[in-house]
Structure 1
Amino acid sequence: MEEEYLSLNLGDKRLDKRLKKIVSVMTKRGGTSLPDIFGNWSGTKGAYRFFSNPKVSSEKIIEPHSQATKKRLHQQETVLVLSDTTEIYYRKRDRVDDLGPMNSEYNQGLLLHPSIAFTTDGIPLGILDFKMWSRTELGANQNQAEEKCP
């Protein structure tokens, strides 16, 4: 996966280098949170600073992987592209910008709708695209979600 990010260009070579390091650590260690993945405060803090940088966006991060996934598709006779909307919940006490209400006024979070390509044998080829958004109010964005996520 690291070779997919050789063409990365976030507009700052330091950011490119930081993302490559983050991807390397995440693919080797995995985990549920940045502190779990990095295992130390300096690595975790560096990742937090990276993700909060205004030059960094989820679209720019996923683009090299998405392009590599599209190349892998051409090597297959048949592919399956599966997608589903996932709700990502945050605790009310977590201070995270741009979250919206979820299933009640007490829950907040984001909606994520990835499109993931697989071979007919179930081998994942990668993420083709994803949309991420938050509701503006409880019960809102249903039409908006349908428009964004065909």
Structure 2
Amino acid sequence: MRCLLEQMSAAPGQPIPAACGDWAATKAAYRFFDNPRVTEHGVLAGHFAATAERCAASEGPILILQDTTEFIYSRAQPARSALSRPSTPGVTRRASPTR
């Protein structure tokens, strides 16, 4: 997993074959992802535990940032999305500031 993580982080955004560099490493990556014992929870367990420890050790407020670099364009209820509402030419919607 460590080797695969190093390869993938060295080539962010690249497909697995490009990040791995050769067929043997690509095949190993696909075998890793296909392994039923490899789960998202298991891979992220150390991250979750370290985050919980840091939060428990904090005496002040904790700032939580949200990564918005990826967008999901399909929604179960598209009408509820502000981005899916039809716009009226010449009309500008402005958000009111929150207090």
State TM-score, norm by structure 2: 0.54
- Tell me how far 1:39 sits from its aligned partner: 1.7
Residue 60 of structure 1 pairs with residue 25 of structure 2: no
Counterparts of 1:39 and 1:22 in 2: how far apart (Å)?
A: 11
CA 1:40–1:58: 2 relative to 1, 3 Å? same
Which residue among 3, 8, 31 is the counterpart of 2:13?
A: 31
Do the aligned residues in 1 keep the contact of 2:10 with 2:19 (CA within 8 Å)? no
State TM-score, norm by structure 1: 0.39
Residue 77 of structure 1 pairs with residue 60 of structure 2: yes
Which residue among 72, 75, 79 is the counterpart of 1:87?
A: 72
Partner AA of 2:21 in structure 1: G
Q: Secondary structure at the match of 1:45?
A: helix
**Relative CO higher for 1 or 2, CA cutoff 8 Å, sep ≥ 6?**
1
* Identical amino acids, percent of aligned pairs: 28
Structure with greater helix percent: 2
Show structure 2 runs of 5+ residues with no match: 78-99
Choose 1 or 2 for highest CA Rg.
2
CA RMSD of aligned residues (A): 2.9
